[in-house]
Structure 1
Amino acid sequence: MSDDHVYLSLAEGHDADGGDARWAFGTGFEDPLHGVDTAVPAGVDAGRLALTCLELADDALVAAQRLAEWTTRAPELEEEVALANIGLDLLGQARLLYARCGQIDATGRGEDAYAYFRDADDFRNVRLAELPNGDFAFSIVRLLVLSSWRLAHFEELSASPDPVLRAIAAKGVKELTYHRQYAAEWAVRLGDGTQESHRRMRTALHQVGPYLAELFTAYDGRDEVVAVLTQVTRAAGLPMPAWQPMPGEGREGEHTEHLVPLLAELQGVARAHPEATW
């Protein structure tokens, strides 16, 4: 894999006129699907399509926020850039998915409304995404699991009858393939590293285990994720995580106590200055 891959989407984040393509509240971006034919194809359940987009967008937004928290805290500068870049990829996916949802859920909401002006009970992300970062080992294990699971889902959605979701998924597959590879390489490095790094990886796998069942209720992908985890843990000399389901479903709006403070930080400026522009 090319070493400059982590910088690729940062470079792509600038338009042909040199404009800054970062997304933040109050910056006044137009609909990211502007000019795209967004009519829902005949035979497609618009309600189900909107919900799928909302769920996947919430997963991406919350996961991106957690990755952003590694800024200035990652073990090395190179990893800080890589994690930030992965977060930007997920943020881009969230923007597109929220935009698609707003076009078809009859609310007319824009991406800011979904990201900044909903309470925790209205979010439909899986709970694994909202857990605190913990140490670097936990964040790597979580990224490995979520990227493997999301990649399997996006590969399936690349054949969606909805052309917009199909295009979003096809773009996301390339990004998520890198996310999974990055996490897998670090998982092997830490698992097969020092006694301390190995211990922390074992702990992280144990901590992730209770949240795996929820992923496969939200979307199956079990075979693909188990295959990845089996390959990586075997190479790292680590045990497979134990499946110990916990009650509650993020897809039903049942979240951990960690989502409310995460959203408070994410949404603070937008809620303090609604309709503001910069």
Structure 2
Amino acid sequence: MIRIEDVSLSFGGIRAVDGCSFEVAEGSITGLIGPNGAGKSTLFNIVAGLLKPDAGRIVFDGEDITGLPPHTLFHRGLVRTFQIPHEFYRMTVRENLMLVPPEQAGENLFASWFSWGRVKRQDADVLDKVDEVLAFLNLTHVADELAGNLSGGQKKLLDLGRTMMTDARMVLLDEPGAGVNRTLLGAITTAIRRLNEERGYTFCLIEHDMDVIAELCDPVIVMAQGTVLTQGPMSEVRSNPDVREAYLGHAETEDAG
């Protein structure tokens, strides 16, 4: 579904991504792992249109999307989440979800005045979709809670809910398990698997919890120093001596990627 071809990006002479190439197959849950500073999140930002590469290209569903802005990619079904959720913290969970669908008639002043019936029908459809998403993610009990009051795990579930409101085709998940307790982590992994198996979502996810990667992902792609070190099933990746050296030989620094 998505193909990354020889992508590179430098910041001040430092190569954050260096000739990186791999593919994410449609219908897969592909894991992207690597030591801190490997370039993982930087690559996600390039794919999602937040950064423009110095070289290389991104192909999505057969079309070159390199450098297209995030809102254009959003309309094409490519969505990115972040390690730190970006909820509207002063709005309720329900309101956060209601905002997501694009081109709502009620956003147009003329339509809200002269096409009230159409606006009302569309709002009812959006609310039905919100209720479905809340039920799917077991968040109905916090629907009217301010999003800022949610726990870290609940905010990650809300992020997933926002992707569901778009009917996304490809989702880039940046550390969905970061800072999440084990109970809610189980809920998140279950939701990802169900979205993949029941609704055909394709995922590429960055995650440092190797148990989550082993449970969800095939294949697993390992990045180091801005490029792909190896890829394959988790069983092969775990036993690869180059992977162990990349992890154990890296200093524990803030992840630049």
Task: With the length of structure 2 as denominator, give the TM-score of the two structures.
Answer: 0.25
When Rg is computed on C-alpha atoms for both structures, the one with the higher figure is 2
Q: Give the strand-richer structure, 1 or 2.
A: 2
Q: Which has the higher contact order (CA 8 A, sep 6+)?
A: 2
Task: With the length of structure 1 as denominator, give the TM-score of the two structures.
Answer: 0.24
